[in-house]
Amino acid sequence: MSRINGFAGRRNFLKLAGIGSVAIGASAASGVVLQGEQAIAQKPSNSNTNTEKKPPSPKPVDPQAALQRILEGNKRFVDGKRLNPNQSSLRLQETAVAQYPFASILGCADSRVPAEIVFDQGLGDLFVVRVAGNVASQTAIGSLEFATSVLGSQLIVVVGHAKCGAVSAAIQNAPLPGRIGVFVEEIKPAVESVRYKTGNLEENSIIANVQYQVARLTESSTILKGLIKEGKLKIVGGRYDLATGKFTLVT
């Protein structure tokens, strides 16, 4: 099996997943050369076939460096010193031909927690999966497997937040309409683990849910588990405060 930077190539990943040549939405890497953290667009080949040379993929950012970048970005956001990196027209062109996110985020769909803003990142920096309650559903796990094994992201951050409506619904344990109950059920085990713990039940449940979803990612995916064992992936979780904007690790 061919590998890219030590990771499974796109074609081999799709074969492993059993979905053949079905496209997943990540553009093929071509026509761009990455030097350090800055990418410089490369001119197309002048050959008669009008093809472009396939550039080498950049070296993935190791887990600890990626986490440090996330935490530093959040500090800038909290301090009102955002750099708004990688949001230029040049970056737009670079990411149009390939993506190499340095970290992946499993976050809540809550409109108040947009990952690129609260972590002060730009185009192509983060591979973001958002679902109510930051639940590690089967779809979310599959997306993160793609981000890590194919795109080379070596860090997954599970982002829970204060006043999470999905967690509140799990605490109330009342019947819910439509398919809302589907993701709420995925949070209930975390709630029950702290229901009789001293302190605020909602706050305890938010933190417990982050820890529970981190554990699910770590334990339920052979792909993620394998990358962790090889030292090519780290999964952490934290709580985002809606009032202050501060992100605090809880795992």
CA 21 to chain centre: 24
φ, ψ of residue 97 in degrees (nearest 5): -100, -20
Query: pLDDT per residue over 129-156, tens digit each?
Result: 999 999 999 999 999 999 999 999 999 9
Q: How many CB atoms lie within 10 A of CB 21?
A: 7
CA distance 147 to 66: 14
CATH architecture of 59-249: 3-Layer(aba) Sandwich (3.40)
Query: pLDDT per residue over 169-221, tens digit each?
Result: 999 999 999 999 999 999 999 999 999 999 999 999 999 999 999 999 999 99
pTM for the whole thing?
Answer: 0.80
Say if CB 97 and CB 27 are below 8 A apart: yes
**At how many degrees (to 10) do helices 138-149 and 222-229 cross?**
40
> Where do the structural domains in the chain lie, given as residue ranges?
59-249
- DSSP class of residue 133 equals G
CA distance 243 to 76: 16
